[in-house]
Chain A
Amino acid sequence: MAPARSTLAFTDEHALLRDNARRFFEAECAPHQHAWEEAGIAPRGIWKRAGELGFLCPRIGEEYGGLGADFLVSVILAEEQARSGAIAPMFSLHNDVVAPYIARYGTETQKRAFLPPMISGAMIGAVAMTEPSGGSDLKAMRTHARRDGTDYVINGQKTFISNGFCANLVVLAAKTDRDSGAKGISLFLVEPDKHTGFRRGRMLEKLGQKGSDTAELFFDDMRVPESALLGGAEGHGFGQLMDRLVEERLFAAIAAIGTIDRAISLTVQYVKDRRAFGQRVLDFQNTRFKLAEAKTEATILRVFLERCIGEFMAGELDASTTAALKYWATEQQCAIVDDCLQLHGGYGYILDYPIARMWTDSRITKIYGGANEIMKDIIGRTL
């Protein structure tokens, strides 16, 4: 079901896709989420399955094996996955962050080599930007790519890389010119299975989002051919990364709002079933007020999100508005999930209850995609 009173141009086809996506996430993913969390990673099989169903990189054109779907299809997929709670396989990262780098900036050869396997699920993508000493401050990165004949020799280290273990395609940011600051950064398409000198560190143990694998990556004289340079020209990496951030943050907000919807609906159900002091927990005024606040925030956020999506599709969404959306959506996610946990009482602290997992899963959202302090800086600079 499309959101009530949507201002976006959802069609019957979108509604059908939403049904299919919901079925996939609820029936084929959600039952395994717990096991994936235990394992710290989702299996390749689920990626292949998503590929079969057309849920990987649906926006890529038919000439590369994609569906040529519109942006709303990606929105629906991201939202339905968040709403199902089966968030271990990071499809949106693959679909909406990694694939567009190749589709937008890649050479024709790169597109033909990588897009079809990304669409089928044979290849899983990751992006490696963050380093131990440089997160949001990208220009400070130290990983270096030295030109050597027709190759590049890459040395350095990355950390907090989502899909870091399952990925067999890594979009890697490195400095091709140490003296040029932002203009010295280039992106490389690295295939871990093919290059010696590529090493994965330990699987990082995280506070939440435990079903998604997160890795340190090490590059020790890793030799890649010049054809691995994204787009074939050096020094465009910073611009490419920045260009993609608006969309990445939009998806962070979509996931946040999907999670908020889920938290509220789980909690409304819980407080209707649970009794205390002779009445339903819902019948306490505090419960109703807290949930009324959450419902209002969810409603307003959705209106704002839809406005932003509409502007994005029209090519009008600016960085400052996107930053406001990402900041507010993720702050609200954490606040609402916390209130919802509180309404669950002791059960809210038990990881068997989804709300407890959502609480741990939510914390990262205020940090990733650019910390919310960076968001405020972006907004503050445009005032």
Chain B
Amino acid sequence: MIRSRHYTPAHEAFRTTVRKFMERECAPHRTAWQKAGKMPRELWRKAGEAGLLCTKVSPEFGGGGGDIYHCLIIIEEQTRICLNELTFYLHSDIIAPYIELYGTEDQKQRYLPRMASGEFVAAIAMTEPSAGSDLKAIRTSARADGNGYVLNGQKVFISNGQIANLICVAAKTDGAAGAKGISLFLVETDKADGFVRGKNLRKIGCKAQDSSELFFDDVRVPPENLLGGVEGRGFAQLMNRLPEERLIMAMSAVANMEEALKETIAYVSSREAFGQKLRDFQNTRFKLAECKTKALLGRAFLEHSMDAFLEGSFDVTDGAMIKWWTTQRQNEVADECLQLHGGYGYMMEYDIARRYADSRLGRIAGGTNEIMKDLIGRTL
């Protein structure tokens, strides 16, 4: 049970809706999606109808008018069915806020309601083959050309890259201005000649989620699709949003620790070896005690951080701390829990195997954990 004065009965009601959705619309298809390497766009439509998209966006733009706990609930519930690759949070809580916070009125009107309905599935394209955490080094360019911009360049590791039809692309409008030369563009893929999706990249985990290379070859973007209508603000816009993104990653890390623990307790309580239950071995109890301790600390820090976030005091250092710590511990917990499953832990039909593979991404995505330590180290 979530302990926060900001968590209300309305949140609990929302959880019921989300759980039903996960069980009916997602769980039965999980394995097929993982084989296909992506989820159908239709799922977004259904999610939109059920009120699971853009939960935080203002009702004025078709959103749910909720808060960060709605995001937590979705993440907890998808973790419960072991579907870490579901990217509603990316669409709703990372990309939609770019438009709501930085977009022009026209952009909000044009995109947010259709994102909330699931008509648009969004992606964000920052990373390039030669620039990941070091965002200033991106090479994709946006050249002003009469009425609009012309995009050229290449992106990689883009989540939702295969299924998205609205992509927020970071590009340089001024190649000489460093961070201040970066701008964000809203690219509607159906209208973008010269836009090509590369192959769906094969990953260690999160297999039902598509990740792509994207190519932009003289792609024309109208001027009204420059986010916020002013050039050079992209870097600041991206940076401002990072603490929240990292907090969202921590939600998934904590929820995964808890679920892994639950599954493993159930497993060791039923499995026997050498004439006793696995849980009766001291090593089992000690390892689970260590995992439980990490989950407890992670949960306490998450709830504390979410409240700090809602009260406006959650900063870059806080985001860095919670992101590296929870994802690091998530990896340790997944590994220990897999070990306690023995050979079954190595079989993908067991959720713990999936959690193990999925968890590895957390230490890299959203800024590597080394970047997190660098951010914290700067405050010493």
Contacts and interface: CB of A to CB of B under 8 A. Distances in A.
Interface string B153-165: 0000000000000
A337 interface: no
B296 A7 contact: no
B377 interface: yes
A193 to B, nearest CB: 44
Interface string A356-383: 0000000000000000010111111101
Contacts of B289: 323-324, 327, 375-380, 383
Interface string B368-380: 0010111111111
A288 B374 contact: yes
Given A307-B304, A377-B285, 17 more contacts: A282-B380, A288-B373, A292-B374, A292-B375, A295-B321, A296-B376, A297-B325, A304-B300, A307-B300, A324-B293, A328-B297, A377-B289, A378-B289, A379-B293, A380-B284, A380-B285, A381-B285
A299 interface: yes
Interface string B241-284: 00000000000000000000100010000000000000100101
20 contacts: A5-B313, A285-B374, A288-B374, A289-B377, A291-B377, A292-B320, A293-B373, A296-B376, A297-B325, A299-B301, A300-B297, A300-B325, A303-B301, A304-B301, A327-B293, A375-B289, A379-B288, A380-B284, A380-B289, A383-B265
Give the dominant DSSP class at B's interface: helix
A297 B297 CA distance: 10
| Most chain B beta-carbon contacts within 10 A, residue among A375, A376, A381 | A376
Interface in A249-294: 268, 282, 285, 287-289, 291-293
Contacts of A323: 289
Contacts of B373: 288-289, 292-293
Interface of A: 5, 7, 268, 282, 285, 287-289, 291-293, 295-297, 299-301, 303-304, 307, 321, 323-324, 327-328, 373, 375-381, 383
Contacts, number: 94
A379 B289 CA distance: 5
Given A5-B308, A383-B288, A295 B293 contact: no
Given A5-B308, A300-B321, A383 B285 contact: yes
Which bracket fits the contact residues of B?
20 to 34
B265 A299 contact: no
A379 B290 CA distance: 8
A282 B296 CA distance: 32
Nearest to A289: B373
Interface string B306-350: 001000010000001100110000000000000000000000000
B292 interface: yes
| Most chain A beta-carbon contacts within 10 A, residue among B261, B301, B378 | B301
Contacts of A268: 380
Contacts of A296: 321, 324-325, 376
A130 to B, nearest CB: 22
Interface string B191-217: 000000000000000000000000000
A376 B290 contact: yes
A230 to B, nearest CB: 32
Given A307-B300, A324-B293, A376-B289, A295 B313 contact: no
Nearest to B295: A324
Contact of A291 (B304, B324, B380): B380
B14 interface: no
| Most chain B beta-carbon contacts within 10 A, residue among A268, A296, A323 | A296
Contacts of B325: 296-297, 300
B374 A7 contact: no
Contact of B293 (A7, A282, A328, A377): A328
A292 B300 contact: no
A381 B321 CA distance: 31
A11 to B, nearest CB: 20
A281 B167 CA distance: 44
A292 B286 CA distance: 28
Nearest to B264: A383
A297 B326 CA distance: 11
A378 B292 CA distance: 12
A324 B289 CA distance: 8
| Most chain A beta-carbon contacts within 10 A, residue among B261, B304, B370 | B304
